[in-house]
């Protein structure tokens, strides 16, 4: 089965390919000739995931899936949430990390969770899968791997930040990994 992943983010594509393996053929937006910037104008992670997948289905007619993810910090009433990728006004991860650390500088409340929602559309029918990982925001960056907020996120029950983990260590416990596993489970049953 071939599916289009509605993203140009190479880090996400690498994570997804590592989790999915060779069970399914994953193609990117370039393979279907999509050069448009996908819409992300809703105020929820679920809504943005749906909006991107629906755009691909309506404009290109291919089975596809899209994800949207966010870091939700308890002390900041769920910020950055749907604005995770450009929280500081920039799409540069370093700027966003520094902005978040600055906002948390005067609190010891550092509980947070990552949430990922994947919207799959096959033959026009939509399914959503949600993955969540609880944890906390570290006081400073740790590790060189990963991307986004990985250097400052410590998953609950672990001593390494996401950025200190290998992809093989991170994928099974990450929010995206958990949502993707649900997707793979669904597709495996769907194909039978």
98: left (phi over 0), alpha (psi -120 to 50) or beta: alpha
3-state class of 181 per DSSP? helix
- Cβ atoms within 10 Å of 21's Cβ, excluding its own: 8
DSSP string, 66-125: EEEEEEEEGGGTTEEGGGGGGTTSSS-HHHHHHHHHHHTTT-S--EEEEEEEEEEEETTE
The verdict on whether 68 is a catalytic residue reads: yes
Selecting among 22, 30, 63, 68, the annotated active-site residue is 68
> Which single residue is written with the structure tokens 């604005």?
83
Token representation of residue 149:
């907020």
164 forms beta bridges with none
10 Cβ neighbours under 8 A, 6+ residues apart? none
- Are 114 and 174 spatial neighbours (Cβ–Cβ below 8 Å)? yes
Residues serving a catalytic function are 68
């Amino acid at each position: 089965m071939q599916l289009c992943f509605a993203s140009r983010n190479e880090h996400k594509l690498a994570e997804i390919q590592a989790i999915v393996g060779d069970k399914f053929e994953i193609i990117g937006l370039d393979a279907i000739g999509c050069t448009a910037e996908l819409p992300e104008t809703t105020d929820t992670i679920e809504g943005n995931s749906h909006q991107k997948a629906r755009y691909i289905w309506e404009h290109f007619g291919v089975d596809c899936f899209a994800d949207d993810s966010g870091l939700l910090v308890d002390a900041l009433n769920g910020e950055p949430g749907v604005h995770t990728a450009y929280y500081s006004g920039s799409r540069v991860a370093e700027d966003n990390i520094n902005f978040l650390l600055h906002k948390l500088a005067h609190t010891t409340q550092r509980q947070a969770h990552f949430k990922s929602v994947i919207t799959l559309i096959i033959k026009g029918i939509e399914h959503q899968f949600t993955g969540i990982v609880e944890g906390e925001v570290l006081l400073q960056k740790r590790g060189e791997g990963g991307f986004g907020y990985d250097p400052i996120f410590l998953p609950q029950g672990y001593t390494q930040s996401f950025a200190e983990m290998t992809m093989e260590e991170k994928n099974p416990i990450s929010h995206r990994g958990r949502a993707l596993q649900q997707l793979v489970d669904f597709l495996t049953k769907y194909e039978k």
